[in-house]
Amino acid sequence: MEALSNIVSEINGVVWGPLMLALILGTGLFLQSRLGFMPVRKIGYGFKKLWAGRQGSGEGEISPFNALMTSLAATIGTGNIAGVATAIFLGGPGALFWMWCTALVGMATKYAEAVCAVRYREVDELGNHVGGPMYYIKNGLAKKWHWLAPAFAIFGAIAGFGIGNTVQANSVASVVKDTFGVDTMVSGVIMLALTAAVILGGIQRIGAVAGKLVPFMAIAYIGCGIIVLGLNIGEIPGAIAFIVKDAFTPTAATGGFAGASVWMAIRFGVARGVFSNEAGLGSAPIAHAAAETKGPVSQGVVAMLGTFIDTLIVCSITGIAIVVTGAWSSGATGAALTSAAFEAALPGVGKYMVSIVLAIFAFTTILGWSFYSEKCVGYLFGVKAIMPFRILWVLAVPLGASLDLGFVWLLADTLNAMMAIPNLIALLLLSPVIVKLTKYYFANDGEEMPADAAAEGSGD
């Protein structure tokens, strides 16, 4: 186990080296500049659209409240609660700054992914829309690039077991052990049973209930976070200054904190930022493709807002809370660190709130990510492979719960990077189409470009 952990650590060090960082941040920056920084400039427009409510292209309008809730539910999760904590634990408070940078350029990446997902989606034999990187590669790029599609599908199928499964189970198990003293294996088995009930037993009610709880959990977490920040309001400017300064200077070891170089702050800030907002991974477009939407750009705007809310708002709340309460040097990591920070500000309440909120988020993420990985598996092997996949998915849950925290996060990072590579390459190649669709939309007052007109000039 030790040896395996070391191997993964080594691979991770290589994979998340300067090249990967350049690819992730560089793609985002490139897309931002090609789009004239539209994702940043049009944030207000995006919020306005969200608030005004979206119209389903089939039946029914979604009310503004529901639109916002769906958006929140989709973006907030374990990354915002535990991921930030691990980034700070390993990279120091400066890692949060690098998470912000990742999100700022990531908004363009996320936007691009959603645009491509909707633009190049297909209809499957059941009449459902299917899309995602495999489809935008296959339908948008010249034949010589088509190998990227199965490459993405393979990595996506595997990566899900990291970010979408083991890390989630692990985070819940660790915080539940910390707060309630329940053994990690017990948590693991309970989650296995619930997951199996939904995806193998078809008892969708469980998933539906959890899904309905998510918006409320999100509000509870954000609300609590704001209270924690409010209680420490005097220290916030100092904390932010510390975070920014720490982003560019090595962090000395102090208390339970082992010390970190600038490089570590960058590396973990970016890696956990990507974990949290999933910009560049290619997973979110698989869901965006299934959405009822007016068109690619409309969906893109929703997606980029999600990134903004996720990292620049919610991760910041968590990160600043961790720094401002001093918990960052306590030696705790993951959800337990966040829990400690909230508990320090709200004794008796903080711990329980974080544990319960995280459990719901993690569970819905385990269910949700099974969809992404399942689509990848289906793309590669067809419908027959789906049942075996679901069984493996369910079995991975208790495994994730009992593995070492550091190990599962590193493993997830590594797999995320592999999944991102084909996706980012595809986005770079498709950037001319993305820019064209965007320009048309904003020049024509929110009218989407007709599909056939957009077909010319696809990247090759």
Contacts with other proteins by CB under 8 A lie at: 56, 58-60, 73-74, 125-128, 198-199, 202, 204, 207-208, 210-211, 214, 287, 290-292, 364, 367-368, 370-371, 383
Inter-residue contact 107 to 307 (CB < 8 Å): yes
Q: 56 or 457, CB closer to other proteins?
A: 56
Compute the least distance from the CB of residue 7 to other proteins, in Å: 33
Compute the least distance from the CB of residue 14 to other proteins, in Å: 32
**Residue 447: CB partners within 8 Å, gap ≥ 6?**
440, 441
- For residue 121, CA distances in Å to 115, 116, 293, 295, 317 come to 10, 8, 12, 11, 35
Q: 86 or 195, CB closer to other proteins?
A: 195
End-to-end CA distance of the chain: 44
Compute the least distance from the CB of residue 294 to other proteins, in Å: 14
Q: 76 or 224, CB closer to other proteins?
A: 76
Q: 151 or 198, CB closer to other proteins?
A: 198
What tokens does 363 get? 């569970």
> Nearest Cα to 300, choosing from 143, 440, 455, 138?
440
Q: 203 or 226, CB closer to other proteins?
A: 203
Distance CA 439, CA 19 (A): 31
Distance CA 329, CA 351 (A): 18
User: Per DSSP, what are the bridge partners of residue 260?
Assistant: 251
Q: 210 or 320, CB closer to other proteins?
A: 210
Compute the least distance from the CB of residue 370 to other proteins, in Å: 7
Compute the least distance from the CB of residue 365 to other proteins, in Å: 8
Compute the least distance from the CB of residue 398 to other proteins, in Å: 20
Q: 208 or 241, CB closer to other proteins?
A: 208
Angle, helices 133-140 vs 405-443, to 10°: value is 50
Angle, helices 204-231 vs 334-345, to 10°: value is 50
- Residue with token string 């975070």: 243
- Residue with token string 């960058």: 266
Q: 293 or 316, CB closer to other proteins?
A: 293
Q: 287 or 430, CB closer to other proteins?
A: 287
Compute the least distance from the CB of residue 332 to other proteins, in Å: 29
Compute the least distance from the CB of residue 290 to other proteins, in Å: 6
Q: 27 or 293, CB closer to other proteins?
A: 293
Compute the least distance from the CB of residue 207 to other proteins, in Å: 5
Distance CA 316, CA 79 (A): 12
Compute the least distance from the CB of residue 315 to other proteins, in Å: 19
Q: Residue 166 CA to chain centroid, in angstroms?
A: 15
